[in-house]
């Protein structure tokens, strides 16, 4: 991940929406912003110890719920879904390359 722009692109959020979310997480002590000394426009976001502890508690619950949800599908359905999702996500990459090529 190169920076905040990459993060809000990945999450498909506007920069304003991403800023608001990071502001709230920072106020809760879950993340800190780290400014680049050489480029004032560049900011990284890093989990704090509190954020890491929260992630360690929440991620196993999330993964268990995802596993439970996916159990309703057959192996063939999951393979089809995976192939379609891969094509869908690759189409975003193609659009990005086309947009970046035009500028």
Residue 16: give the domain boundaries.
1-71
CA distance 26 to 32: 6
Give the Cα separation of 15 and 19 in Å (integer). Answer: 6
If asked whether residues 57 and 20 sit together in one domain, one would say yes
**Residues 28, 45 within the same domain:** yes
Would you state the pLDDT for residue 103?
A: 52
User: pLDDT at position 18, please?
Assistant: 81
Answer whether residue 58 shows pLDDT above 50.
Answer: yes
Give yes or no: residues 92 and 58 share one domain.
no
Quickly state the pLDDT bin for 68 (edges 50, 70, 90): very high
- Give the ranges where the chain is alpha helix by DSSP (H): 4-10, 15-27, 49-70, 75-102
Closest of 17, 9, 15, 29 to residue 99, by C-alpha:
9
Residues 43 and 14 in one domain: yes
Q: Look at the chain and report how many structural domains it folds into.
A: 2
pLDDT of residue 101: 58
pLDDT at 102: 56
38 and 18, same structural domain?
Answer: yes
Whether the pLDDT of residue 1 is over 50: the answer is: no
């Amino acid at each position: 991940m190169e920076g905040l722009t990459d993060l809000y692109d990945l999450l498909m959020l506007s920069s304003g929406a991403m800023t608001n979310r990071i502001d709230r997480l920072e106020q809760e002590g879950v993340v800190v912003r780290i400014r680049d000394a050489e480029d004032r426009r560049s900011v990284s976001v890093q989990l704090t110890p509190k954020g890491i502890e929260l992630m360690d508690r929440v991620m196993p619950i999330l993964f268990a719920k995802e596993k439970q949800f996916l159990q309703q599908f057959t192996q063939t359905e999951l393979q089809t879904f995976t192939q379609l999702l891969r094509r869908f996500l690759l189409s975003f990459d193609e659009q990005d390359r086309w947009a970046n090529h035009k500028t």
